[in-house]
A and B are shown apart, each in its own frame.
Chain A
Amino acid sequence: MDWFAFLFFIEVTIGGLLSGVMYALVAIGFVLIYKTSGVLNFAQGAMVLFAALTFVSLTEQGLPFLAALAITAAVMALLGLTIERAVLRPLANRSPMTLFMATLGLAYVIEGAAQLIWGTAVHRLDLGISNEPFILGGIFISTFDLIAALIAGVMVAALTAFFRFTRTGLAFRAVADDQFAALAVGLRLDRIWAAVWTAAGVVALVAGLLWGARLGVQFALSLVVLKALPVLVLGGFDSVLGAIVAGLLIGATEKLAEVYIGPVFGGGIEGWFAYAVALIVLLVRPTGLFGQKLVERY
């Protein structure tokens, strides 16, 4: 491999790692909810779409950035509360699969409602982050992706600190560990679930803004869920760290495969390649890289 080919390889890898962070960003929303309520929330992608559409429509009405951000966060919190009250509470104590299918229905409702309220047009979202790549030692790196990765990093650090050092975080972990025991020591399950769904809504907002700025705010945003699922499977549904590591791994292998293996098949393999990687790893480690052993006990 000559020097330029090597540089190109590094460039592709870095680009892949950075887009992997974007996948992880969506995956973290899933992990939050799965950890505390055992629900695989398929509607996370729809929430990303809903948040981005609400934000972009508000700014198009002339609202300043921060005001739109605050209002959208409030709307996402309201959405989380509504979901807890209307869907989760009536389904308490039902099988995880039932809850999963309910979130499938929820995804349809949120996607439909978001587009019914705000329209189906594609919106441009400019966060004021430069799209110019900068050059480091002969390697092109996208500024936008780098800043997005930084934001994601800050969010993960904040979430980890929150889970580890605050009382609410402790309560979250207690619920994740054992719902009945948590109830027995007097934790309010309904409040905790509402808080978790609100937090997932805020994560969806951040993911929605960054993805929206990249792809344009449109229906396709809700399909980022399909990029996040293999990341989740690979990292384990209940691990924030797993989501990050798996996101990086899948982002990098996907980009490398696209560039080096894709041409053999005539391209377009990114739709399923991540799933293939996840499956191969799962055949060796059925609970993913960082998932708890014994996900379901029989």
Chain B
Amino acid sequence: MTFVADNPLATPLTRHLPLAAGLLLAFVAVPAFASDYVIEAILLPFLALSLAGLGLNLLTGYTGQVSLGSAAFMAVGAFAAFNLEHRIDWLPLPVSILLAGLTAAAVGLVFGLPSLRLRGFYLAVSTLAAQFFVQWALTKFGWFSNYSASGIISAPSLHVFGISLDGTAGRYLFALSTTALITLFVHRLVISPIGANLIAVRDNETAARVIGVPVLRTKLAVFALSSAIIGIAGAIWAFAYLRTVEPAGFNLDRSFQILFIVIIGGLATVRGAFLGAALIVIFPLLLSRFTGLAFDGVADAGVLKLIERIFFGAVIIAFLIAEPNGLSAILSRITRRFTR
């Protein structure tokens, strides 16, 4: 949980100081000083994946419904945003992003229906249906990709209130503000009574029903909300990071990647998604840099991909065994040691 420590001496000011400093750094210092490479290769994918992880964490971490179809909802968000921008040109960007989220929510609601009857593994496997169906529909029906021959479409130019966001810094600020707003919303949600409802559903459905939690409605609502957030993350992934929209990028591996982010970062924590995404984004870069130095370019890209695969698999197992609460719990221990 992300409750702020009950320290009577902590005033709102000192409590929120680190957060304020972090936001200042992210909004002002990064665009001013960070190189284009850092933003393009690290920060943009980091923000999109963090947001997707946050969405999945609501569903899996807080409510206990494991989903293996996250990438499908990213794809729905990305394609919905593309079609809204493309077909209704007067629509402001924030509105199309919001509507894309709503579209993903509607699709999520449909694929969340099995959760009313199924639990555990049966549900996890049935979420794979979303993964395969959405990917198939997006490649099969040309309308979604505006009849582009290759199925790959470039993202439209981004502008809000007449200001162009097509530059690196602009796209970064767009991704950052969206992520920050949604993170704030999720944070408020999980510390509210609704958040307690989610955890009640996860921990014991019957008990939750006994104390008056509307279990079925809660499950469906979380499926919709989580899909909406993941969908918006997909739109950011396609518009701000890749600048292209293609179904192949939202495959099963992406779904697993998002699940890994949540497990590594820490289930049922808000910051876990960010910590997990940071590791997932940075490790491959470090690996290629390191092997580049050590073997002087002998190791080819294919071998690196395999090493990366083995590493992430091993890291998942290691975390599940040694620290099931993820990087978030490790961070808590470190900060506690320093503040004491």
Contacts and interface: CB of A to CB of B under 8 A. Distances in A.
Contact of B309 (A111, A276, A296): A111
B126 interface: yes
Interface string B53-69: 00000000000101000
Given A272-B133, A275-B129, A275-B133, A113 B310 contact: yes
B316 A104 contact: yes
Contacts of B117: 282-283, 286
Interface string A250-266: 00000000000000011
Interface residues of A, number: 49
A271 B121 contact: no
A181 interface: no
Nearest to B132: A272
Interface string A33-73: 00000001000000000000000000000000000000000
B122 A295 contact: yes
B312 A105 contact: yes
B287 interface: no
B306 A112 contact: yes
Contact of B310 (A94, A108, A286): A108
B329 to A, nearest CB: 15
A271 to B, nearest CB: 5
Contact of B259 (A101, A109, A110, A286): A101
Contacts of B120: 96-97, 295-296
A230 B315 CA distance: 28
B316 A105 contact: yes
A279 B126 contact: yes
Main secondary structure on chain B at its contact with chain A? helix
Interface string A228-253: 01101100010000000000000000
A41 to B, nearest CB: 11
Contacts of B139: 268
B107 to A, nearest CB: 14
Interface stretch (B42-50, B190-198, B317-325): B317-325
Contacts of B308: 112
A221 B306 CA distance: 16
A96 B126 CA distance: 17
B313 A105 contact: yes
B310 A104 contact: no
Interface string A91-118: 1001011101110111111111101100
B337 to A, nearest CB: 26
A116 B125 contact: no
A40 B121 contact: yes
Contact of A105 (B118, B204, B303, B314): B314
B136 A268 contact: yes
Nearest to B127: A275
B133 A104 contact: no
Given A106-B317, A109-B317, A116-B307, A97 B125 contact: no
B248 to A, nearest CB: 13
Contacts of A91: 320-321
A225 B181 CA distance: 39
Contact of B320 (A40, A105, A112): A105
Contact of A286 (B122, B140, B252, B260): B122
Contacts of A282: 114, 117-118, 122, 126
B125 A229 contact: yes
A228 to B, nearest CB: 10
Contacts of B66: 97, 100-101
Given A276-B129, A282-B118, A296-B120, A90 B313 contact: no
A226 interface: yes
Contacts of A296: 119-120
B199 to A, nearest CB: 15
B27 interface: no
A232 to B, nearest CB: 7
Contacts of B114: 279, 282-283
Interface string B117-154: 11111101110110011011001100000000000000
Contacts of B324: 94, 98
B8 interface: no
Contacts of B316: 101-102, 104-105, 108
Contact of A115 (B119, B204, B306, B314): B306
A266 B125 CA distance: 26
Contacts of B302: 120
Interface of B: 64, 66, 114, 117-122, 124-126, 128-129, 132-133, 135-136, 139-140, 204-206, 252, 256, 259-260, 263, 302-303, 306-310, 312-317, 320-321, 324
In the A-B complex, list the 8 residue pairs whose CB atoms are closest, starting with the nearest: A108-B313, A105-B316, A112-B309, A112-B310, A109-B313, A275-B129, A272-B132, A105-B313
29 contacts: A94-B324, A96-B121, A97-B64, A101-B66, A102-B317, A102-B320, A105-B314, A105-B316, A105-B317, A108-B310, A108-B316, A109-B309, A109-B317, A110-B313, A111-B309, A112-B306, A113-B310, A115-B306, A116-B303, A230-B125, A233-B122, A272-B129, A272-B136, A275-B128, A275-B129, A282-B118, A282-B126, A286-B117, A295-B120
Given A98-B324, A120-B306, A229-B125, 15 more contacts: A87-B321, A97-B64, A101-B66, A105-B315, A107-B313, A112-B306, A112-B310, A116-B310, A226-B128, A272-B133, A275-B128, A279-B129, A287-B122, A288-B122, A295-B119
